[in-house]
Structure 1
């Protein structure tokens, strides 16, 4: 199997990797096959990708074994963030783990692993009107599973996400919906915040 093509952007629609600033290190939450992580690593960023799917991690490692400064870890993101003591200049998720993790559990862990002044950014599909909070979904979401797996997907409006980030101590919060490319198509919601750069803690 050949590696996937690398897109010139870190987010499917709208702004790309520039939302992260110029990090020296980055953590990708839910990198799947690793295209976004590779895009950054090839530009000199040290990147760690953490994914819950062992099949995706194995594929990413096989595809990008020749890319320096890049590692893929098989783990649940909250367990990884709680156990790994490193800090990163940027933590991001492109239609990945942030969408499928309780933000009241995840955001404090992200804050602990961001370097002071670091950027936290994520994207997911624009929510359907009225379908906010934890939405139950069924499906065979992880390769290698024969049975249907029920998961939850957290969906909020841009202002709701902004309020969540602010409540967890993030600053310079921005949240917007980039419209879909076709009439009637749902857009992409993009959220960004930073950790305070002073001596205080979140």
Structure 2
């Protein structure tokens, strides 16, 4: 676990902070794709006001902060302590928003039925064995709760799913849309959608966005 934490700390240190405002001049916004000002917004999650929201792998908290401004009661977890520090430095005064340093499967195990929405944007869903993670996510959701996540699409030339990266510390599970749908169905999720969002003009790679309900 120490090696995994160290790998994510190195990754976080190299990331460029999100800009202060987006193209529309907003100070907070939700961005599901790897491209700025592109793709769906928070409506993918349904109404969030008054709902309990958990982000897995929240990083510096920018996406979750937007949901808090819409009236959600938000918790963000990340395995890297440095990410929590940056999130709290930027968003610590925002009501309805807390951050914790935690390993996801341990956190989910201790919070059954605690959340109405669980999301992960290019976060740990991509880096955690779904056979372990998906049942825990479902367990953490209230009846009818929403689970949504995004990551880059699987490509035939990628390394095998689960291949070790970051000095053999971090694994990644690359699945196509239909594979994620099947995995979620096997974990007893319903109303599953999994689709590739087309990239903006001039870009060649889309974004896989997945949504399901308990």
Give the Å deviation of 1:137: 4.1
Whether 1:176 and 2:195 are equivalent positions in the alignment is yes
CA contact (8 A) 1:27 1:48 kept: yes
Q: Secondary structure at the match of 1:32?
A: coil
CA contact (8 A) 1:10 1:39 kept: no
Give the Å deviation of 1:11: 1.1
Give the Å deviation of 1:183: 4.8
1:155 to 171, 174, 178: 174
Aligned length: 186
Give the ranges of 4+ consecutive aligned residues of structure 1 lying more than 3 Å apart after TM superposition: 130-133
RMSD: 2.0
Cα gap change, 1:117/1:54 in structure 2, threshold over 3 Å: closer, same or farther?
Answer: same
Whether 1:21 and 2:46 are equivalent positions in the alignment is yes
Give the Å deviation of 1:111: 0.5
Q: Deviations over 1:136-185 (max 9, x none)?
A: 2433xxxxxxxx45211111110110111111001100000012225562
Q: Secondary structure at the match of 1:72?
A: strand
| Length-normalised TM-score, structure 1 | 0.85
Name the CA distance, whole Å, in 2 between partners of 1:37 and 1:149.
Answer: 30
Q: Deviations over 1:58-92 (max 9, x none)?
A: 11011111100101010110011012345111000
In terms of fraction of residues, the more strand-rich structure is: 1
Q: Secondary structure at the match of 1:164?
A: helix
Instruction: Tell me which residue corresponds to 2:183.
Output: 164
Give the Å deviation of 1:126: 1.1
Cα gap change, 1:19/1:132 in structure 2, threshold over 3 Å: closer, same or farther?
Answer: farther
Instruction: Tell me which residue corresponds to 2:29.
Output: 8
1:36 to 46, 59, 63: 63
Q: Which moved more, 1:24-33 or 1:126-135?
A: 126-135
Whether 1:84 and 2:111 are equivalent positions in the alignment is yes
CA contact (8 A) 1:48 1:72 kept: yes
Unaligned runs of 5+ in 1: 140-147, 196-202
| Length-normalised TM-score, structure 2 | 0.80
